Structure 1
């Protein structure tokens, strides 16, 4: 059962991306073009995602354990640090230049478009480089607590 639940979730996510048109880079770039021919449909997709995910997270917080796993796997960090800001910046730059993010890019591989293939290859190379960088850092540096606003 542990493999079926993620498969079903992935299929639903992929279908949602396809139905909403988010696999079309022009749709995403139209949303980012706020001073031109702005297309607000991506905001509707984001609002719908929040409408589903917020109650889901609240429901998960009340449960003792997940239905299809032995434990929850939640991020250990909750603060803002340099890797988070840098990663968000790189994600935004790539999203703004190409109009694809990882989910739609993987789904768009089915088109065999050379641009999508190059994007996914670059994305994979970046992920591999980041994993190598993370592995090369000393454990104490990787696991140090984050600074918070109360730290001064």
Structure 2
């Protein structure tokens, strides 16, 4: 129960930060990508701030031998670049550039009462399901061969 409450609190802080910084507004994000028009550098400042907070958090957290609500840290071990990683990154970037939403901005934007984030989240969920299905099909084919 403590883990669920702590995860909910972390999500609430993250979502509040996204809304306060304006990153739940797709127009603000799209203006960042419009370098020859109405360029808005605030997304770069939000990213730099997030990196600074993350670095401080990692330095603080990893001084502990174990996490507060778990027996060990679960860190990624895979370091190779493969087709699913590259394709997923490309789809993420293209979707972000077209819609102005990424998952981190779309989820908090659901609470603003607009239809665009709902459409984005539904479409994103469909994409996740299709990717999961493709991975299952690929795994089955590899095990048969």
Same fold (TM over 0.5): yes
Query: Once the two structures are superposed, what CA deviation does each residue of 1:109-142 show, in whole Å capped at 9, x if it has no partner?
Result: 2234333222111100011111222223338x69
Could you tell me the TM-score, scaled by structure 2's length?
0.88
Query: Once the two structures are superposed, what CA deviation does each residue of 1:3-55 show, in whole Å capped at 9, x if it has no partner?
Result: 12111110110010011000001110111111111100111101110111012
1:36 aligns with 2:47: no
Query: Where does residue 147 of structure 1 map in the other structure?
Result: none
Could you tell me the TM-score, scaled by structure 1's length?
0.84
Alignment of 1:10-49 (within 5 A): 10-49=11-50
Q: Secondary structure at the match of 1:39?
A: coil
1:3 aligns with 2:4: yes
5+ residue gaps, structure 2, are none
Q: Output the CA distance in 2 between the equivalents of 1:35 and 1:136.
A: 43
5+ residue gaps, structure 1, are 143-152
RMSD: 1.9
Q: Output the CA distance in 2 between the equivalents of 1:7 and 1:110.
A: 15
Q: How many residues align?
A: 141
Q: Output the CA distance in 1 between the equivalents of 2:125 and 2:136.
A: 17
Q: Output the CA distance in 2 between the equivalents of 1:107 and 1:33.
A: 24
Q: Output the CA distance in 2 between the equivalents of 1:118 and 1:70.
A: 38
Task: Note if contact 2:19-2:109 (Cα within 8 Å) is conserved in structure 1.
Answer: no
Taking structure 1 as reference, are residues 76 and 136 closer, same or farther at Cα in structure 2, changes over 3 Å only?
farther
Q: Output the CA distance in 2 between the equivalents of 1:59 and 1:110.
A: 32
Query: Where does residue 108 of structure 1 map in the other structure?
Result: 109
Query: Where does residue 78 of structure 1 map in the other structure?
Result: 79
Q: Output the CA distance in 2 between the equivalents of 1:128 and 1:62.
A: 37
Q: Secondary structure at the match of 2:3?
A: coil
Q: Runs (4+) of structure 1 moved beyond 4 Å?
A: none
Taking structure 1 as reference, are residues 68 and 54 closer, same or farther at Cα in structure 2, changes over 3 Å only?
same
